[in-house]
Amino acid sequence: MAELSGRCQLDPGFGLMRIRLIILMLSLVGHAVAQTPSGYTNPILRGGYPDPSICRVGEDYYLVNSTFEYFPGLPVHHSRDLVNWELIGYGLHREDQVTGAVNLVDVQSNGGIHAPSIRCRDGVFYIITTNVYLPPGEGAETEFVNFVITATDPAGPWSEPHVLEGAPGIDPDLFFDDDGRAWYVGTHSPDEPNFPGEGEIWLQEVDTDQWALIGERYFLWRGACGGVWAEGPHLYKRDGRYYLLVAEGGTHFNHAVTIAVSDRLTGPYESNPRNPILTSRHLSYDNWVNSTGHGDLIELPDGRWYMVLLGIRNDLERRSNMGRETHLVPVSWEREPFEWKAVKIEWPVPAPGTGRVERVNPAVFAETRQVLNDDFIDRFEGEALNPRWNFRRLPLPGSWSLQERPGHLRLHAHANVIAERGRASLVGFRQTESDFSYSARMRFDARETGSESGLSLFQKDDNFINFTVTRREDGPVLHLAIAGKDQPTAVVEVPLPEYNGAITLQASSEADAYRFGYRLDERDTLIEVAELPAGLILSRGYTGANLGLYSTTNGRAVQSHADFEWVRYIAHPRLR
């Protein structure tokens, strides 16, 4: 066997039992980590981390991403080298932040928190973003709530949302000019669009004491590549000029980064003749990554520049279960070489060597190495839930506890099931690789008919797989179901006559197939019960898949709960 370094490098002759033994050995000694020998591997944030925005304070970098209907929202990561990132907190981390104008209680799928921007001025951090909410009922119109939260420590706590009234559209940016004035940069559909989906970038000064838009509104740019879905703007000032970076072309194969420049903040803006400056639209649909776009630029202390942006790995059917993830590319600045131009503009050139997002890249800083370690083992020994856990929407009151049975996560079974706009007793963390092993030890008495607890692999309210112990009238069964169009459809049920209230459930993925199994005693050999295509919950839309825990009474008014002793997730990166 080759060395064990965060993933198993196995000869083809290795059998399934030996693979399981290796995985178990690794999990028992804790996290197995791999260091890249040199350079870094994209994506730098694996799992559902789209729409990245970045800022720098000294030698510290902070990054935030969209989270849509998930809570807590707006994860804040910290790094000192741009390739190793630590989750330090969330911008939306309290109930009072998301139960008013910003609604994450019954928000629709793919609604919620879109395309944030993080900036810092004079020791204060700002996150500006949009909550997209469609009220229930026929004929309701979508509400776009643009707001700012602030903090003096990016780890939190963050302020209540400051809503900016009269700010239409989505994807706002906050720009601080050298004179101390603050400006709101927004995206909206123009009053007289030339075609459906045309976007326009607008600008207006903002009073940061009252959080109100003031003065004249300026309309800056409608993009460079047809203007389809021009959005996600970021403004920068460099050498006296203003640069407007925009996402364009939608969030799939035609996604792109475009840029314009002006000598005046309020315009007019001149499009870079070489737009788009970064995209995968010209590459094969089978390139290792597609849909690259929605970037944000950052200058390093030594004067070098980089860009963070999103992309979708092409692991399965030109997509992946991780959805849109955060990537990093170097940026150089080049002055136009045209002798006939009186004014020769300097433009940023992302990935100057190849013009595309590469899987393996030279090191950002020679003295650092990227550590590939997305493994996650939680024994629920702390007083607070590990920050990697997330809920679909604000969690139900009293639905979980770490105190009722110390050393366990208790999930109280709720009558709710997974449903559009619903809140269920469901919690999970991001899937970070297509290949993985995920298991949990659960204690669940299953005495009440209809009660159900176990694993859930979920991406949307209508896109999930549940692998649970369920109580039937004739006894407990192991129940595997995938989300159907109208209701979950059972794939297999296995009677558990020897079930005594404790079980280890396991879901793993290898060679584009999910495998599900269990063991009643931790010393037992895993018993496989089903194999399914890994594309069943293939990420579609805005968010990646999550690996989670679930408990429900399926609508019955009975008391039930499950205690989870540990969860263990071992990721197996496909480095190609």
Residue 313 tokens read as: 């790995």
Please, what is the Cα angle at 466 between 460 and 470, to 5 degrees?
140
Residue 147 tokens read as: 């707001």
Q: Of 444, 417, 454, which is closest to residue 552 (Cα–Cα)?
A: 417
**Kind of pairing between the strands at 289-299 and 278-279:** unpaired
Rounded Cα distance, 352 and 363, in Å: 15
Tally Cβ neighbours within 10 Å of residue 374: 22
Are 375 and 23 in contact, with CB atoms under 8 Å apart? no
Q: Of 289, 296, 347, which is closest to residue 319 (Cα–Cα)?
A: 289
Cis peptide, bond prior to residue 488, ω within 30 of zero: no
51 annotated active-site:
yes
Residue 435 tokens read as: 């290949």
Q: What are phi and psi of 454, to 5 degrees?
A: 160, -145
Please, what is the Cα angle at 442 between 441 and 445, to 5 degrees?
155
Q: Is 250 left (phi over 0), alpha (psi -120 to 50) or beta?
A: left
Residue 200 tokens read as: 């326009």
Q: What is the SS3 string spanning 92-117?
A: ECCHHHCECCCECCCCCCCCEEEEEE
Note the Cα 340 to chain centre separation in Å. Answer: 46
| Secondary structure element (H or E) that encloses residue 26, with its range | helix 16-28
Tally Cβ neighbours within 10 Å of residue 480: 24
CA distances, 10 to each of 23, 27, 162 (Å): 12, 17, 53
Determine the 3-state secondary structure of 555 from DSSP: coil
Rounded Cα distance, 66 and 247, in Å: 15
Are 67 and 75 in contact, with CB atoms under 8 Å apart? yes
Catalytic residue among 51, 205, 433, 445: 51
Number of H helices, E strands in the chain: 1, 41
Residue 353 tokens read as: 């060597």
Determine the 3-state secondary structure of 492 from DSSP: strand
Query: What one-character DSSP code corresponds to residue 228?
Result: B
Catalytic residue among 69, 200, 231, 433: 231
CA distances, 210 to each of 106, 165, 178, 207, 363 (Å): 29, 11, 20, 6, 44
Catalytic residues, which ones? 51, 231
